[in-house]
């Protein structure tokens, strides 16, 4: 039992109650991987990319576990790290795509026929990443706007605004598909 208890590093004692056991990273990983993976599947629209982002986020959290493990909400920190990882990958991919299109020969339409059949995923893909994350956290994972805002690093009012605009956009897609 003593192997599961960890001492609180100096300067962080105010973040953890005296005598409160800090969960091990393994326990945290075991309970939080599936919800994070599910969220990232819906945000990215790709299981493989979601797994890579989740793994990268957990590696970053593991590297700082002495600090993160004593936080009031380590799950929020994990979701924020995963969104940062996703945004970073998204920016790199976007830049690579722009470079490839600029250097590519005449446009071909070979991949235009590829389409997903899952309506929810298709609608979520039509949203920008911030809107997708806000809808996912509030509507699918049942976080409040305040909790989702803390996870995303936004104000609760911004989360509500993002979800309202996203829902309106999805409603238009369902009513008037192109």
pLDDT in tens, 120-136: 777 888 888 899 889 88
Considering 49, 83, 106, which residue would you say is the last residue of a domain? 106
Residue 80 sits in a domain whose CATH number is 1.10.1740
Q: Which of the 8 DSSP states describes residue 140?
A: I
Same domain, 140 and 84: no
Query: Do 39 and 93 share a structural domain?
Result: yes
Written as six digits, the tokens of 104 are 């590519």
pTM for this predicted structure: 0.50
Q: d(Cα 64, Cα 165) in Å, to the nearest integer?
A: 35
pLDDT at 17: 47
In a domain, 62, yes or no: yes
Q: Is 177 exposed, middle or buried (CB count within 10 Å of its CB: 0-12, 13-18, 19+)?
A: exposed
Domain enclosing residue 167, as ranges: 115-178
Half-sphere exposure of 66 (CA within 13 A, CB side): 7
User: Are 83 and 125 in a shared domain?
Assistant: no
Number of domains in the chain: 2
């Amino acid at each position: 039992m003593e192997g599961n208890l960890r001492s609180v590093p100096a300067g962080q004692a105010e973040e953890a109650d005296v005598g409160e056991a800090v969960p091990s990273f393994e326990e945290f990983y075991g309970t939080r991987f599936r919800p994070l993976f599910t969220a990232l599947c819906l945000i990215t629209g790709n299981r493989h990319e979601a797994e890579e982002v989740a793994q990268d986020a957990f590696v970053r959290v593991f590297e700082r576990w002495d600090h993160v493990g004593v936080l009031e909400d380590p799950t929020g920190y994990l979701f924020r790290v995963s969104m940062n990882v996703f945004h970073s990958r998204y920016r790199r991919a976007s830049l690579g795509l722009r470079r490839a299109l600029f250097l590519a020969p005449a446009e071909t339409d070979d991949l235009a026929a590829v389409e997903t059949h899952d309506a929810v995923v298709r609608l979520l893909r039509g949203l920008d990443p911030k809107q997708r994350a806000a809808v996912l956290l509030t509507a699918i994972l049942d976080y409040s706007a305040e909790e989702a805002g803390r996870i995303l690093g936004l104000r609760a009012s911004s989360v509500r605004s993002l979800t309202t605009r996203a829902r309106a956009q999805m409603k238009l897609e369902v009513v008037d598909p192109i």
